[in-house]
Structure 1
């Protein structure tokens, strides 16, 4: 499965979240670190859902860049 992630610049670092996995978030000092951390957070989040016997949401979000 491939989940869309959103990475945002914060004041002193970067933060990321997964629209299809509410509550799955990560931060990092750089974009690269944030990407690595959100991958780990996704694995941990899905593992927790499985352990709790909860359904794993299918990835449905679509990302696209547009010019105004």
Structure 2
């Protein structure tokens, strides 16, 4: 019987490789990928492999502590140009 585990993952843009992802509950588990989908796939495989190693070595499995809130960030252009409002001159 297989178990399902949930872990918070953090994915950040990373130049020049594309994206960097890590799992705070699994210390030292980091990966990267050229695309968001690639780093998600890499994280999934790395988490599975890490947990299999812990089980094989009969070590305790980590769990997330506390409340976790999903935060999704949107990309913002590096330079955002906001046009200056024209001032109305007194007549």
Q: Please indicate, yes or no, whether the TM-score normalized by the shorter chain is above 0.5.
A: yes
Give the unaligned 5+ runs of structure 2: 72-91
* Count of aligned residue pairs for this structure pair: 66
Q: Which one of the candidate residues 28, 31, 45 is aligned to 2:36?
A: 31
TM-score after normalising by structure 2: 0.65
Structure 1's consecutive aligned runs of 4 or more residues displaced over 2 angstroms after TM superposition are none
Query: Partner of 1:4 in structure 2?
Result: 8
Residue 57 (structure 1) shift: 0.3
Higher relative contact order structure (alpha carbons within 8 Å, sequence separation ≥ 6): 1
Q: Which of the two has greater helix per residue?
A: 1
* Contact 1:4-1:63 at 8 Å conserved across structures: no
Tell me the alpha carbon deviations over residues 5-37 of structure 1, each in whole angstroms, 9 at most, x when there is no partner.
000111122110001111111110001100010
Larger radius of gyration: 2
